[in-house]
Structure 1
Amino acid sequence: MKNTYLVFLLSCIFLLSCKDKHHLDSVKISGNVFGTTYNITYLNTNVSYQKSIDSLFLLVNKSLSTYIPTSDISKINAGDSTIVIDEFFTEVFHKSIKIHKETNGYFDPTVGNLVNAWGFGPKNEKKNLDSLQVTKMMQLVGLDKVSLVEGKIKKETPEIYLDFNSIAKGYGIDVIGRFFESKNLHNYLIEIGGEIRARGKNAKNKIWRVAIDNPNTDGTRSFADVVALDNQSMASSGNYRKFRLTENGQKYVHTVNPKTGFATESNLLSATVYAPLDCADVDAYATAFMAMGLEKTKEFLEEHKEVKAILMYVNKNGDLVEYKNNN
């Protein structure tokens, strides 16, 4: 799944400081999933749900992972039109349509062929496409070319390749959060590869707090801001670490612009998005913002007041600037 690197859990420090006092009331679980790591903390119980959580992760992967050849999405991408999709795939598909419309097409899971061709998907092709090749591949881009009919995905052209990696990680977090709520657990923080869903309070009975990384390219870590998550989800996306350079120095980034088909940088270095929404939603918004660039993202935020963002960009003078709309 899409890797992001922008969020560090300050809340973990707070929890460690309370370990002796609250060890029976909180459980911490960590591991690997979706090509990255996860850290989960939940309170008011001493029951471990590790097996249940791992089982849910397996189900999400079986449905949505393009990195697993036997998953439903991989079979659909390979041309199998007989797959009856499950509730996970159905919800992510409907969410994708909604966010595709909200972002005027800047979020588009049908960009998968181009993601692969530029070298950022499971096929890892690493092609240096010219404009004619991109124009041809853009004929396979457009979520309006895909529909859900009687539980099955229908594509206008079999070669259309769906890629939910920019929403599925956040969705996996939501699946675990809903599981906790079904167990009457309402104080938890779930983090997978930097994406977060926070509910209730931490072990100090305070709102969960997380820090936002500066977009450093030299391997160092420094913090740009700290955000309190009051029953909110957060996701971050950035191109400053996940990119590749050609022999002649051309830079290609992992965010493929679904409007142009090119893997070139916008004027945003990173976008961190948080809101009282599902993590899947903010995950998708963060990806869309990186393609939209600074000005279009500002316009979006003006129209969607519930969505908060911290945008890092370089101004005309070469200075690193932070924009945020959380006032």
Structure 2
Amino acid sequence: MKGCLSVFLVCLFFSCTNKEIVKNQAIGEALGTSYNIIYLMDEEVDYRKEIDSVFAVVNQSLSTYIPTSDISRINKGETTIEVDHMFREVFELSKEIHEATNGYFDPTVGNLVNAWGFGPEKQIVMDSAKVDSLLKYVGFNKVNITHEGIIEKEDSNIYFDFNAIAKGYAIDRVAVMLNDKGIQNFLVEVGGEIAAKGTNVVKNKPWVVGIDDPEATGDRELKLLINLENRALASSGNYRKFRVDSLTGKKFVHTIDPITGYTKDSNTLGVTILAENCAIADAYATAFMAMDLDVAFKLISSNEKLEAYIVYLDDKGETKEFLTSGFKEVVSK
């Protein structure tokens, strides 16, 4: 399950700064959150209908919150649905990341997400026996997609939940749409996850975005600013998305460890990933939240295609930061 460590756009635009450049902006609601999309052109153009259309088709394929979507029908046991290219792309990318993270990214964790109270289906009271009973339905090695686009499951009760990658994928699809229209400079932000192309030509500088401080207790505070150009960014954290049991008062975070089946309450406060596209960044940010810190550091160090920023607590309870060398290079001075 995915939660977003919010990232704010901190770019300010003044259309009179450069009369040759028009700041086109689309703001709205999609995927259970808000979006803010900026595309800079030499004319005023409104692509909101096209943008909303992208979100609609992705939802119809991958949203577990829409009863008639392909994924919902597959989760209910239908076996003859031929999924579209979006479902296939997300499925195949999920399989790659599942293998690369040694199972810490696993979209078959859906039954556990629901049971712990973070999905569209009924929450249940969990104990070790129920966790064990649901773990038998978890494992991306237990599912397959045929050449014809039919999903095969070892057990019909396996429940897909692509929410930890679908938002990033939807952002990528909007970016593809804008790119196909020949737009050279744009920034797509949905619920704090971002894909950027080109630069902020209004200000003649890179796109600048801010990353939240996961320890801020009141109003949101920025931890740092980074320059984003021709890359994507996604963040995950437990500090905002959790639930508290009304009877016991116990706090349950939204990150589910697909290995143990339990919610993961660790020393990791927030993870931000830079990658070539937002789907990849989205999935890895979730996976690293589910891992112990030493495992996350090892995997990040071995993956040359990812840059990471991790805020965590050390053994003494003191806040520490880990930045890969590539992430340090994009921190705004």
TM-score in terms of structure 1 length? 0.95
In 1, Cα distance between equivalents of 2:214 and 2:109 = 25
In 2, Cα distance between equivalents of 1:105 and 1:318 = 28
Partner of 2:331: none
Aligned runs of 1:17-56 on 2, under 5 Å? 18-22=14-18, 25-44=22-41, 45-56=43-54
Deviation at 1:21, TM superposition (A): 3.0
Partner of 1:63: 61
In 1, Cα distance between equivalents of 2:22 and 2:57 = 28
The size of the alignment, in residue pairs, is 321
Partner of 2:143: 146
Q: Assess if the C-alpha contact under 8 Å between 1:196 and 1:235 holds in 2.
A: yes
Query: Is 1:273 aligned with 2:273?
Result: yes
Partner of 2:79: 81
Q: Return the match for 1:201 from 199, 202, 208.
A: 199
In 1, Cα distance between equivalents of 2:100 and 2:3 = 24
Partner of 1:91: 89
Deviation at 1:68, TM superposition (A): 0.3
Q: Assess if the C-alpha contact under 8 Å between 2:310 and 2:323 holds in 1.
A: yes
Give secondary structure in 2 for the equivalent of 1:140. coil
Unaligned 5+ runs, structure 1: none
Q: Return the match for 2:105 from 93, 104, 107.
A: 107
Letter in 2 for 1:169: K
Partner of 1:187: 185
Partner of 1:162: 160
Partner of 1:253: 253
Letter in 2 for 1:128: V
TM-score in terms of structure 2 length? 0.93
CA 21–87 in structure 1, closer or farther in 2 if over 3 Å, else same: same
Deviation at 1:248, TM superposition (A): 2.4
**After alignment, is 298-307 or 35-44 more displaced?**
298-307
In 2, Cα distance between equivalents of 1:136 and 1:2 = 23
Give secondary structure in 2 for the equivalent of 1:107. coil
In 1, Cα distance between equivalents of 2:322 and 2:88 = 35
Q: Assess if the C-alpha contact under 8 Å between 2:2 and 2:255 holds in 1.
A: no
Partner of 1:224: 223
Q: Return the match for 2:175 from 158, 174, 177.
A: 177
Q: Note the alpha carbon deviations across 1:231-256, whole angstroms, 9 max, x for none.
A: 11000000111111223232211110
In 2, Cα distance between equivalents of 1:99 and 1:214 = 27
In 1, Cα distance between equivalents of 2:216 and 2:78 = 42
Partner of 1:243: 242
Q: Assess if the C-alpha contact under 8 Å between 1:26 and 1:42 holds in 2.
A: yes
Q: Note the alpha carbon deviations across 1:139-160, whole angstroms, 9 max, x for none.
A: 0000011100121111111100
Q: Assess if the C-alpha contact under 8 Å between 2:15 and 2:22 holds in 1.
A: no
In 2, Cα distance between equivalents of 1:124 and 1:2 = 18
Deviation at 1:217, TM superposition (A): 5.4
In 2, Cα distance between equivalents of 1:211 and 1:293 = 26
Deviation at 1:305, TM superposition (A): 2.3
Deviation at 1:3, TM superposition (A): 4.4
> How many percent of aligned residue pairs carry the same amino acid?
48
In 2, Cα distance between equivalents of 1:71 and 1:179 = 22
Partner of 1:133: 130
Q: Assess if the C-alpha contact under 8 Å between 2:3 and 2:237 holds in 1.
A: no
Partner of 1:214: 213
Deviation at 1:293, TM superposition (A): 2.7
In 1, Cα distance between equivalents of 2:316 and 2:26 = 45
Deviation at 1:204, TM superposition (A): 1.4
In 1, Cα distance between equivalents of 2:125 and 2:289 = 21
Q: Note the alpha carbon deviations across 1:119-140, whole angstroms, 9 max, x for none.
A: 0001251x33111111110000
Deviation at 1:22, TM superposition (A): 4.4
Please, what is the CA RMSD of the aligned residues?
1.4
Letter in 2 for 1:20: C
Q: Note the alpha carbon deviations across 1:105-131, whole angstroms, 9 max, x for none.
A: 100000000000000001251x33111
Q: Assess if the C-alpha contact under 8 Å between 1:217 and 1:240 holds in 2.
A: no
CA 94–224 in structure 1, closer or farther in 2 if over 3 Å, else same: same
In 2, Cα distance between equivalents of 1:96 and 1:221 = 32
Q: Assess if the C-alpha contact under 8 Å between 2:5 and 2:214 holds in 1.
A: no
Partner of 2:294: 295
Partner of 1:8: 8
Deviation at 1:306, TM superposition (A): 2.6
